[in-house]
Each structure stands twice: as C-alpha cells, then as structure tokens.
Amino acid sequence: MKAHHRLLIVSSALLVLLAVFSLYLRPSFLVTLADQLWACF
C-alpha cells in the first residue's frame, strides 16, 4: 500500500509539472506572464 501511495504522488507531481511546462510552449502565455511580472514594478 505504501509503494502504491508513493507511486500515485510521484505520478501526480509529474503530471502537474508536464502541464506547467506545456504552458511555456504557448507564446501568448509567455507575453502575459511577462506583462504581469512588469506590472509588479
């Protein structure tokens, strides 16, 4: 059970990382992110 629980956590973390990294392939997302970053200053 413990190994199954750890596998579930690792696969969930990898899925979240893959989703975040896929956003960086969209240029419009990068422009929006840069605009939001510059709005802080």
d(CA 16, CA 39) in angstroms, rounded, equals 27
Number of domains in the chain: 1
Provide the domain limits for residue 10: 2-39
d(CA 17, CA 34) in angstroms, rounded, equals 20
**DSSP 8-state class, residue 26:** -
pLDDT at residue 11 in the model: 96
* pLDDT tens digits in sequence order for the chain, 41 residues long: 688 999 999 999 999 999 988 888 888 988 998 999 999 88
pLDDT at residue 36 in the model: 94
Residue with tokens 């240029």: 27
H runs (alpha helix) in 1-41? 2-23, 27-39
